[in-house]
Structure 1
Amino acid sequence: MVKKITTDEFNSMDKAGVSVLDFNAVWCGPCKMLGPVLEEVSEEMADDAKFYSIDTDENPDLAKEFGIMNIPAVVILKDGQKVDMNVGFVPKDALKDFVTKNL
């Protein structure tokens, strides 16, 4: 399951392990395409990583903190540290491979 979070929730959450952050916006076409794909991957990889959705319009400070210039952007964190980022829509297999290589 992908949990929608705000900057405040992000700042107070437990960042242990692997977290996948999906930076998006409601007006973004590729973001809308990526949403269901990310949801499927999150269900299949629920034991390996935590998945979060972050609206860049509602949380500009968090987007700035992670250097998000284009969306959709998927950021991988390990114990709170950014280890990788992918920008743009990717199909399910590519997204799953991207997350898996960063576990």
Structure 2
Amino acid sequence: MICHSTDSTFKQDLRSEGLTLVNFWATWCSPCRMFGSVLEEYDATRQDDVRIIKMNVDENEETSSFFGVMSLPTTILFKDGKPVDKKIGYMPKEVLAGWVASY
């Protein structure tokens, strides 16, 4: 299940153990909407190996700024609560799955 996080809940939503995928997006961003569909499809077919969090950058500027989000969509992979990799732009589901599996 995809979690929609906010600046005030982000620390609690981020898994302290295992993998968490955080997608920074905006409603006006066309590639974000396309990638949102990929995330939903990925979420429906995966095991509980990774938690998926979506952060609307227009509503959560503090967290977006903290992680240096300049382009959308930006997706950051966290392992045990710490960022380990960042991808910018749209990814097909196979690329996303491969990226997550590499950690």
SS in 1 for 2:70: coil
**Deviation string, structure 1 residues 44-97 (Cα, Å, up to 9, x no partner):** 224101001000111111011111110101110011100001100111111111
Matching residue of 1:6: 6
Q: CA shift at 1:8, angstroms?
A: 1.1
* Cα-Cα RMSD: 1.2
Matches within 5 A, 1:20-59: 20-59=21-60
Give me the whole-angstrom Cα distance separating, in 2, the residues matched to 1:5 and 1:78: 17
Kindly, what percent of the aligned residue pairs are identical? 34
What TM-score does the superposition give when structure 2 sets the normalisation length?
0.92
**Deviation string, structure 1 residues 15-64 (Cα, Å, up to 9, x no partner):** 32110001000000000000010111122224101001000111111011
What TM-score does the superposition give when structure 1 sets the normalisation length?
0.92
SS in 1 for 2:23: strand
Matching residue of 2:68: 67
Q: Relative to structure 1, is the Cα distance of residues 64 and 49 closer, same or farther in structure 2, using a 3 angstrom cutoff? A: same
Give me the whole-angstrom Cα distance separating, in 1, the residues matched to 2:45 and 2:74: 20
